[in-house]
Amino acid sequence: MKELILAFFLGLSASAEAQTIKFVTEDYPPYNFSTPSGANGSSVEQVAAIMDALKLPYTVEVLPWARAYMLAETDASHCVFTTGINAEREKRFQWVQPLLVDHMIMVRRKGSDIAPDTIDAAKQFTIGTQREDFSATYLMEHGFRKIDYATNLDSTLKKLIAGRIDLMMTSEKTFESMRAEGKPVEAALMLEGKYYGIACHRDMDKQTVEKMQRELDRLIGNGTQDAIFDRYGLRPSGSVQATK
C-alpha cells in the first residue's frame, strides 16, 4: 500500500513538472515580435534557451499586451514577458529576471520642438503608451492626466509620427532599434532605469520557476545573454546603470 501511495504522489509530481508552460508576450521589438515562422526577439531567445536547457514543454504566443498580462494573472499555466518590475507587480507574480536592464525614455517625432526637461514639465503633453504596459503604470503613478492608450507599440508609434500624440514612452533599447530602422523619432527625456523579466502566475509550481531562474542566472553568467543582445544590436545589460 505504501508503495502505491508513493507511486501516486510521484506520478502527480511528474505530471506537474511535465505540464506545458504557456509564455505570452506582445509585439515589442527587439525583445519580442511576430515573424512568419513564429515569435522572435532577444527575450524570446532567452526564454527558449531556458526552457530547452530544462527540457520542459512550453509554447510562446504573441498577443495584445493587455490580454497577455491578464492570462498570466489568472491562469496558473501562464507567464508573461518582457515585463517591467515595480513594487505592485512584484507581489502579484513569481519572477524570473532580469531578461534585461534598461532605461525608460520619452520620445518625440523627429523635428518636434517638444523638449520637457523634467517629468513635471512633460505632464502638459499627451503621452502615448499601451494598456497594462509598465509605462502606463508609471505615468499614472506620477500624476499624468493626458495619457493616450493603444493596443500595441506599433499603434503608439504611428500616432506619434502622425502628430496625434506629443510623446511616447518606451525603453531606451527599443528607441535605439527604432532609430536604426530609420523611424523619424528623437529622444526627448531620459527616465530612470528598470529591470524587466518573466512574470509567472503566483500558483505556478515554485520549483519550476526556481529552475528557470537558475538557468537564466547561468545564461547571464556565461555570456549567453550578452551574445543574444549583440545579435539584436543591443548593448549588454551591464552597461546600463539601473535601479529596481
* Domain of residue 231, CATH code: 3.40.190.10
Q: Do 29 and 112 reside in the same domain of the chain?
A: no
Query: SS3 for 17-62, per residue?
Result: HHCCEEEEECCECCCEEEECCEEECHHHHHHHHHHHHHCCCEEEEE
Residue 208 lies in a domain: yes
199, 81 Cβ separation under 8 angstroms:
yes
pLDDT classification of 236: cutoffs 50, 70, 90: confident
The pLDDT of residue 240 is above 70: no
Residue 243 lies in a domain: no
Summarised one tens digit per residue, pLDDT across range 82-136 is: 999 988 899 999 999 999 998 899 999 999 999 999 999 999 999 999 988 889 9
Residue 66 lies in a domain: yes
Q: Do 123 and 189 reside in the same domain of the chain?
A: yes
Q: Do 107 and 174 reside in the same domain of the chain?
A: yes
Average pLDDT over residues 142-151: 96
33, 43 Cβ separation under 8 angstroms:
no
Summarised one tens digit per residue, pLDDT across range 33-56 is: 999 999 999 999 999 999 999 999
Q: Do 118 and 223 reside in the same domain of the chain?
A: no
Q: Which residues pair with 34 in a beta bridge?
A: 39
* Cα–Cα distance for residue pair 117/35, rounded to 1 Å: 38
Dump the DSSP string for 165-178.
SSEEEEEHHHHHHH
* Cα–Cα distance for residue pair 15/20, rounded to 1 Å: 10
Give 27 or 243, the one with higher predicted confidence. Answer: 27
- Which cell numbers hold the place of 210? 526556481
Number of folded domains in the chain? Answer: 2
Residue 200 lies in a domain: yes
Residue 32 lies in a domain: yes
Q: Do 110 and 84 reside in the same domain of the chain?
A: no
Q: Do 24 and 81 reside in the same domain of the chain?
A: yes
Residue 94 lies in a domain: yes
Q: Do 151 and 48 reside in the same domain of the chain?
A: no
Q: Which helix (H) or strand (E) holds 103?
A: strand 94-109
For residue 176, give its domain range.
103-193
Residue 224 lies in a domain: yes
**Helical H runs in the chain?**
2-18, 42-54, 65-74, 87-92, 119-122, 134-141, 153-162, 172-180, 206-221, 224-231
Residue 241 lies in a domain: no
